[in-house]
Amino acid sequence: MSKLQPARGTRDIYGEDARRMAAVVDCFKATATQYGFEEIQTPIFEFTEVFKRPLGEASDIVSKEMYSFEDRGGEEVTLRPEFTAGICRAFISNGMQQSLPQRLMAWGPVFRYERPQKGRYRQFHQIDAEILGADSPETDVDLIALAWRMMKQLGIADDTVLHLNSLGDAESRQQYRVALVEYLNQHKDNLSEDSQRRLETNPLRILDSKNEGDREIIKDAPSVEDHMTEEAAAFIASVQNGLTALGIPYVMDDKLVRGLDYYNHTVFEFITTALGAQGTVLAGGRFDGLVSQLGGAPTPGVGFAGGIERLAMLMKAAPAVARSVVLLPMGEAATLKAFPIGEELRDAGFDVVADRSGNLKKRLNRANKNNARVAIILGDNELEQGVAQVKDLDSGEQTDVALDMLKTVLAPIMSGDAE
């Protein structure tokens, strides 16, 4: 190997990309906390059955994309391809059903073996929010409101459109499935190979197809709305009313589905065209059947996941690097004295970087290049007088300041209140 590179579909994250992604996570954590969510961190890998059982053997994730392997103990384990199944497993394992509802938030890397594409890698990152133990449509509104508020805080709400649909209850879904299969069978020979396979295993997923021929056929497919029970229709109407009351814009999209049987009622996606081709940056829905499918007591649930990379890419600008105080000790005695000075300033809340190499001109050039706000120059002469030279790197003004007055003098400069 002539040149070390990250494995295909992975990348090193640093600099501006790291700041953007951290801003997304920080905004998500702060916003979700406002809605009563608490952090949960589940293992990066689980027993394969945790994902295989709910996702289904025939799903693309299980059949093509999961990173599964046998560990040294002979156990089949899988790097998590998504958060929801692992969080529901933790919900069951830790007896959380004794205190409902549970509002849980998580974030971190997820893994899928797929063709790398813009904003999507084989190791990528998601934020995730789940509410377990609440079955009202108003809960779904709360969750969508959380996502909307977060995107407004990030300044990207105007670049997305909320698509909303209902899968109905179990009776609605079954009636719709029968009607959809009947319609698609009439066009079976013209469907893509993938859609012909899904017709036997997961027909609702055909509505997600990106194949142009499939999309022409899908345009005239029956709508789930025409097969909705009264109860299911009332549920989605309540969600719509809640979104309208909050002033959250949305479009109804009867082709928006989830192929797995444990999904019901509300499904939604925030979709953007700002990254090129139309793409989903955050998606969610109600999954009242998942916890029981994993072996727990029947428990309603609703949640969403958002791609951190894609949300970060939508941000207009990366967060600025915090401007620091740079400490420039010149000489051995000053270098030793600079250690406690730096710690005292950090104790006072300042970001302090010590630069000890090169002549003064080179160090000041580096400080300006790194957008430092203030330089503190400390040499033998200054030590004898009990002062340091404080240089305002914006104005160029330089003054002698008593060492015990550094915090007082720096405070207004670093807060932007200096005259």
67 in a known ligand binding site: no
Annotated ligand binding at 123? The verdict is: no
Taking residue 301's Cβ as centre, other Cβ atoms within 10 Å add up to 25
Nearest Cα neighbor of 270 from 317, 310, 211 is 310
**Rounded distance between C-alpha atoms, residue 279 and residue 160, angstroms:** 9
Handedness of CA 185, 190, 192, 197 (dihedral sign): positive
Nearest Cα to 163, choosing from 304, 263, 308?
Answer: 304
Local structure of 277: helix, strand or coil: coil
112 annotated binding-site participant: yes
280 is in an annotated binding site: no
Cα separation, 375 vs 174, in Å, equals 70
225 is in an annotated binding site: no
Distance between CA 286 and CA 290 in Å, rounded? 10
Query: Is 356 part of any known ligand binding site?
Result: no
Of the candidates 332, 372, 325, the one whose C-alpha atom is nearest the C-alpha of residue 352 is: 325
Q: Does residue 355 contact residue 53 with C-beta atoms inside 8 Å?
A: no
CA distances (Å), origin 139, targets 38, 133, 302:
16, 10, 8
82 is in an annotated binding site: yes
Is 84 among the annotated ligand-binding positions?
yes
Distance from chain centroid for Cα 83: 11
* Contact assessment for residue 377 and residue 391, using Cβ atoms and an 8 Å cutoff: yes
CA gap 357, 303 in Å, rounded:
52
Q: Is 126 annotated as a binding residue?
A: yes
Q: Which residues contact 241 (CB under 8 A, 6 or more apart)?
A: none
CB 419 within 8 A of CB 357: no
CB 180 within 8 A of CB 199: no
Q: How far apart are CA 308 and CA 76, in angstroms?
A: 28
The two tokens of residue 118 are: 């813009």
Give binding residues for L-histidine as ranges: 82-84, 112, 126, 130, 258, 262-263
Give binding residues as ranges: 82-84, 112, 126, 130, 258, 262-263
